[in-house]
Structure formats: structure tokens, C-alpha cells
Amino acid sequence: MHEVTVGYGLIVTTAGAPSDNTTLSTILGDLEANGWKGQFGSRAGGTVLCFTCRAEHPASELAVEGIRRIEGASDPADMLALSTVTCPGCGTGGVLTLNYGPEGSGDDAAVLAGLRDERANGEVASTE
């Protein structure tokens, strides 16, 4: 396990070093094949929009069940956190894609900081 501080006091734990050989579309395709078919987006004030039911929820109401950190092969400043979450309103499971680091927005940072870790090992994210 590797712990990486991604800014704003958030630490992400990954099973291995990110690989430049895995594309964003490959990761998203694998997640969708495993049932994570919905899409989510960050909104102002640390809220998350479910694109299935169009409801907005505070990030703290969404449980992170997995997270994958990737960086751009040609631009390391292009950093993404792909979080698998479930909408508390309609129950849709899907992927919340957030930028962090130099390219991250304040909205994405607020959402990352507010997400709840629901992994059994408690090692997905920490705000300490």
C-alpha cells in the first residue's frame, strides 16, 4: 500500500503505483463492467450531483466504496481521483471523477475532503 497526499490534507491509499499504461477510458470501462454505471459530478459548496436522478447531496452523504488515483502520462499535473460512490437518493452506483493537485478546482477539493470512507479497511481516504 502507498499513501499519497493529494492536497487539502487528503491522503489517498493505493494498492500500487499508478501505471501510465492504463487509460482513463479503460478504467471507466472496467468500473462500468463491474456495475458502476452511474455518473456523478462535483458542485459548489461540497455537493455532488447524481446524473441519474439529478439530485444534489452533500459529499458527506456519499460513501466512497473505492478510489483510483491516476495521473496523465504526458502531463503529471493532470491528476484525477476516480471514486466509486452510491447515490443516497436513488441508489445508483457510479463514478465520481475529481481533479486534484494543481489542476483541481475548489469544488472538487471540497467534495474530496467531504467524502465518507466506507471501505472495510478504512484506508481509502483520510482527512488527517
On the question of pLDDT at 46 being above 50, the answer is yes
**Mean pLDDT over the full length of the chain:** 78
- pLDDT-based confidence at residue 79 (cuts at 50, 70, 90): confident
Q: Where does 1-128 have alpha helices with state H?
A: 24-33, 106-114
pTM over 0.85: no
Average pLDDT over residues 46-65: 94
Average pLDDT over residues 12-28: 63
pLDDT computed for residue 42 by the predictor? 95
How many alpha carbons lie under 13 Å from residue 76 in its C-beta half-sphere? 3
Domain range summary for the chain, segments of one domain joined by +: 2-12+23-126
pLDDT computed for residue 39 by the predictor? 96
Amino acid letter at 34? Answer: N
